Amino acid sequence: MKKVICVGNAVVDIIVKNGPDRTPDGMTQFAESINMYVGGDAVNEAVALSAMGNDVKLYTAIGDDALGSAFLSLIGSCGIPTDGVVRDREYPTTATVVTVGADGEHGCMTLRNGAAGNMRYSTDVFNIDFSGASLVSVASLFWSRGQTDADLTALLKKAKEAGALTMADMVLDQSQMSLEDIAGAMKYLDYLVPSYHEASYFTGRDSPEEIADEFHRRGVKTVVLKMGAQGVFASSEGRTYRVGTIADRVVDTLGAGDNFVAGFITGIVDGKSMEEALCFGSAASAIAISQYGASGAIKSKQQVQDYLDDHRK
Q: How is residue 193 annotated by DSSP?
A: -
Give every residue of the chain whose pLDDT is below 70, as ranges: 21-24, 104, 173-174, 293-294, 313
- 10 Å CB burial of residue 109 (0-12, 13-18, 19+) is exposed
Q: What percent of the chain has pLDDT over 70?
A: 96
pTM: 0.92
Q: What is the pLDDT of residue 104?
A: 67
pLDDT in tens, 82-96: 999 999 999 999 998
Q: Roughly what angle, to the nearest 10 degrees, separates helices 41-51 and 256-269? A: 50
Domains of the chain: 3-22+30-312 (3.40.1190.20)
pLDDT in tens, 244-255: 998 888 877 777
SS (H, E, C) 42-63: HHHHHHHHHHCCCEEEEEEEEE
Q: What is the pLDDT of residue 129?
A: 95
Single out the residue of 128, 198, 126 nearest to residue 169, CA to CA. 198
Q: What is the pLDDT of residue 294?
A: 65
Q: What is the pLDDT of residue 289?
A: 87
| 95: enclosing H helix or E strand | strand 95-100
Q: What is the pLDDT of residue 313?
A: 61
Instruction: Name 91's bridge partners.
Output: none
Q: How is residue 185 annotated by DSSP?
A: H
